[in-house]
A and B are shown apart, each in its own frame.
Chain A
């Protein structure tokens, strides 16, 4: 245990492995990662960032709904999901988890389909255990706890990871879920991505706590604060936490200290409430810049490679988007078929009624404002 129990949230100690310029602070703490693993992790961060940018433009054209970007939080989301084993472990997400979804194996096309307003986008593919985006804040903690309960009960060895923001930690349910998980010593990792803003409410107005990490201490579970823009730190701590949980020692609570560089959603204008100076300061801690500098220092990355990666990823993003647009059509059956295992007779009747109506007036199904 290099981290758990060694960094004290009550003293506001933070796990940090590299500084803002990608320089290693403490070599002893650097996690074992091959060059390929490092580049793959960085590529995922880059992909998520470029997808956010693309979706912002597409939303400006009315081709997506308001969506919630992970911009600024890529190191946290990639860091805490990398230690997970696909098909064995679980992800119970919040709604600002683009990078984490990509990392746990959600196809980008699904994510895009979801932001086009189609529930099929929220369905994880075979071999990926991920719940759809959670909208009512806090419940994802309970669901992860239940999933972990079942893993422990059956002895299947899986671990569940869940995450929320600093705002979400105000929901009583997050504490209740953590307390329950500790009582039963369940294999679940609770993450708070403290990005400093709950829509327009700043972190300091939602809690007077020394930090978020101390909120786990009352439950009795190990709690730790980590620099959420330092991929190496988040990954190292999360890996230790996952091992801790998988070995039956119970849950862990991790605060990732990060920053929401984007808007709350693409309909939101943060300039209204966000101090300009704070934002400009936060830009200097961009996790992508830090990681890129680290890789260039390590001599395993160049601007040329970056250019090639960007181009390849942009083409991929565009292809995924085209697929999602081509496949977003929404059949009437889809709104009836998943209410119950089998439609009740009354629902069947309503379906027939709707089917007759829409066969006669297909223009009504087009949506938009009427």
Chain B
């Protein structure tokens, strides 16, 4: 067992994958010599050579498309986009080709590309460096979307993504890259795509979140449970956004009768909208309160000085939890 942080878990996963499969290549802007702007690919070029880990020119539309071509021709490309917002030129290929090729060739040419992108705010970066548009990718047929929040899940989900026969987008919350460490098994293992992780059990409210907000939710829940010792909150880290673990969440909501979804992405047409709609369809008669969400507002993510207004904060989450728990049914 090694003790790693999230960003080192990414490197570990890539290293294990490159050892396991000869046809895995890793590339992206600055991903080669420097190891990426967050150092997620650090050491890979030194170990595997420039043929397998290299810098890509600033041309995301192309290098997402190139990855599709590689995958059609039986390689396993793992692309790093420098930041989610900077990677949008690639949308032409992600939305227009990546999830469709299998369907258009009636199964002949699947495109199991992996695209990794740092996402989310809270690192005092520049404009367009804090985006959280995971719903857009999850809304695209044929693409799987994951967002690990811990080192164990990061390594396991990236390896699952590389092993997957389908294209997978891996969102990596920048705020958590170095925020904590965890024991991570050596060598190859996977975390199943589509399975959530229950951080803690509880009886009175189900809180579903993913990414950096797992930490905010834990803080909020600790504060609430300290104030109300009889109340227990169930906290679920979604981990996988598309597909998502309906079974665990429905079961949890049937037990608690209450749901709060938390994410930093803007509110309208978001992941929380999908989860709440599904819970409404499946758990209607168990609900003791309206399902609610604590999210960013429907605004362009403010530049650094205003970002705190937008981001979910433990206090915002706490206020929402109390609102749901106090709802009389």
Contacts and interface: CB of A to CB of B under 8 A. Distances in A.
A361 B319 CA distance: 10
Contacts of B89: 136, 138, 171-173
B302 A119 contact: yes
A339 B315 contact: no
Contacts of A170: 57-59
Contacts of A364: 308, 313, 315-316
B51 to A, nearest CB: 14
Nearest to B36: A200
B229 interface: no
Contacts of B319: 357, 361
A200 B298 contact: no
A334 B32 CA distance: 40
B289 interface: no
A199 B33 CA distance: 11
B188 interface: no
Interface in B307-323: 307-310, 313-316, 319
Given A117-B306, A199-B34, A369-B122, A137 B298 contact: no
A28 interface: no
B308 A201 contact: no
B264 to A, nearest CB: 13
A358 B310 CA distance: 11
Interface string B122-141: 10111111000000000000
Contacts of B299: 335-336, 339, 347
Contact of B29 (A133, A199, A339, A350): A199
A200 B55 contact: yes
A198 B316 contact: no
B315 A361 contact: yes
B86 A354 contact: no
A273 B42 CA distance: 13
B55 A367 contact: no
B236 to A, nearest CB: 22
Contacts of B129: 135
A65 B125 contact: yes
Given A65-B126, A135-B127, A117 B298 contact: no
Given A66-B126, A346-B268, A354 B309 contact: yes
B48 interface: no
Nearest to A132: B127
Nearest to B313: A364
B305 A116 contact: yes
A32 interface: no
Contacts of B37: 199
Contacts of A361: 315, 319
B59 A367 contact: no
A341 interface: no
Interface string A175-204: 000000000000000000000001111000
A201 B29 contact: yes
B72 interface: no
Interface string B83-109: 001101100000000000000000000
B172 interface: no
A205 interface: yes
A272 interface: yes
A151 to B, nearest CB: 26
Given A66-B125, A350-B298, 7 more contacts: A136-B89, A172-B59, A173-B61, A206-B55, A206-B57, A347-B298, A368-B308
14 contacts: A95-B126, A119-B127, A136-B85, A171-B89, A173-B61, A199-B37, A200-B33, A200-B55, A201-B30, A201-B32, A205-B55, A330-B309, A350-B297, A354-B309
